[in-house]
Amino acid sequence: METMDHWSVWQILDPKFKLEEKVLHELLCGGQTFLWDPILDSEQLSWKGSIREFWIELKLAQDSCVVFRHHGSHASANVVQELRAFFRLDDAWERLINTLPIEQDDYLKRCAERFPGLRILNQPIEEVLLTFLCSSNKRIPQIKQMLQLLRAKFGKKTSFGYRYPSWDRLSKAKVEDIAECKTGYRARYIHGSAQVISTQAGFFEDLNDSCFEEAKAQLMQLPGVGDKVAECILLYGGGFYEAFPLDTWILKALHHRYGVDTKNIKKTKGFIERHFGLKAAGLAQQYIFAYERDVKEL
């Protein structure tokens, strides 16, 4: 087998897009996406992963600029466009942050200062749905493994790897075959969701045309999609920054840092809306999540 390792030259993504190493790592390996692996080559850290059909390597230049190279024969301009969308470079992050109570909230300020430039990535919602159907009761390495197996078994093969499987393909898969991908009881969720999606034409298109509440209700009709998973899908795949996934880390943080009675989900959601607002609550969640996993105090 011939392995033509055909990589483009390294290029700057955007001269204004600079990040610290720990922030880029958090973005690519912190639980938003599960398609990137850190690579340590000759003391230079980089990350290899994929976005749709593109296979990409990212690293930081001396001046902290994010640089990339890509595999295969794609035009660099297309990869740039894809990466700009992925990192949401054209979103007004500064303005979003300004809607958060950073100045009145020392804790949130500390979180934000620990991960400057942290943002919400933009991923295909149909991929994010599969991702977070796999996520329940699982840690990042296990979720990664499940997705890798699912892609290898049901995804389209490309010259460099496997793409995310289509929901059409998953709808024709047997539960047992999905379970072989170490998905466990989630295999039923994936299978069941695939059945619903394949019988509802335009399922994902309708989500894009819906408001947050409507889209959430639609998603929660799918087996395996509860409140937390729905909020993840809407935040990472739907671009709804008001979404605020309540996982165990965040619940612990809200309880210990703000004294919220997190046993009471309604009170908790009320606090979130009052304190963080609806414009960028999801971004606040991301800062807090990254911070707490980093400091491991709770």
Partner DNA sequence: CTCCAGGAGATAT
Partner DNA sequence: ATATCTCCTGGA
Figure out which of the listed residues 1, 44, 199, 263 binds DNA, where binding follows CB under 7 A: 263
Q: Which is nearer to DNA, 13 or 135 (CB)?
A: 135
Figure out which of the listed residues 4, 5, 141, 209 binds DNA, where binding follows CB under 7 A: 141
Q: Which is nearer to DNA, 85 or 179 (CB)?
A: 179
3-class secondary structure, 40: strand
To which H or E segment does residue 96 belong? helix 93-98
**Minimum CB–partner distance for residue 75 and DNA (Å):** 33
Q: Which is nearer to DNA, 155 or 224 (CB)?
A: 224
**Minimum CB–partner distance for residue 159 and DNA (Å):** 28
Q: CB of 99 within 8 A of CB of 90?
A: no
Figure out which of the listed residues 8, 64, 142, 148 binds DNA, where binding follows CB under 7 A: 142
Buried b / exposed e over 183-217, threshold 16 CB at 10 Å, is: beebbebbbebbeebbeeeebbeebeebeeeebbe
**Minimum CB–partner distance for residue 138 and DNA (Å):** 6
In the block, residue with structure tokens 């739907």:
238
Q: Is 31 in the site for DNA (CB under 7 A)?
A: yes
How many residues touch DNA (CB under 7 A)? 38
DSSP for 228-247, written as a single string: HHHHHHHHHTT--TT-----
Give residues with Cβ within 8 angstroms of 79, minimum separation 6. 8, 54, 56, 68, 70
Q: Which is nearer to DNA, 79 or 120 (CB)?
A: 120
Question: CA-to-CA distance for 71 and 160, rounded, in angstroms?
Answer: 8
Strand order in the sheet with 44-51: 11-12, 66-70, 54-60, 44-51, 37-41
Quick note: the x/- pattern for DNA over 219-258, rule CB under 7 A, is -x-xxxxxxxxx-x--------------xxx---------
Question: CA-to-CA distance for 272 and 98, rounded, in angstroms?
Answer: 16
Q: Is 182 in the site for DNA (CB under 7 A)?
A: yes
CA dihedral angle for residue 170, residue 174, residue 176, residue 178, rounded to 10 degrees:
-10
**Minimum CB–partner distance for residue 136 and DNA (Å):** 3
Quick note: the x/- pattern for DNA over 184-203, rule CB under 7 A, is xxx--x--------------
In the block, residue with structure tokens 């400091």:
295
**Minimum CB–partner distance for residue 11 and DNA (Å):** 29
Burial of 179 (0-12, 13-18, 19+ CB in 10 A): middle
Q: Is 295 in the site for DNA (CB under 7 A)?
A: no
**98-137: contacts with DNA (CB under 7 A):** 135-137
**Minimum CB–partner distance for residue 31 and DNA (Å):** 2
**Minimum CB–partner distance for residue 76 and DNA (Å):** 31
List the beta bridge partners of residue 54: 51
Q: In the complex, which residues of this chain contact DNA (CB under 7 A)?
A: 30-32, 135-142, 145, 179, 182, 184-186, 189, 220, 222-230, 232, 247-249, 263-266, 289, 293
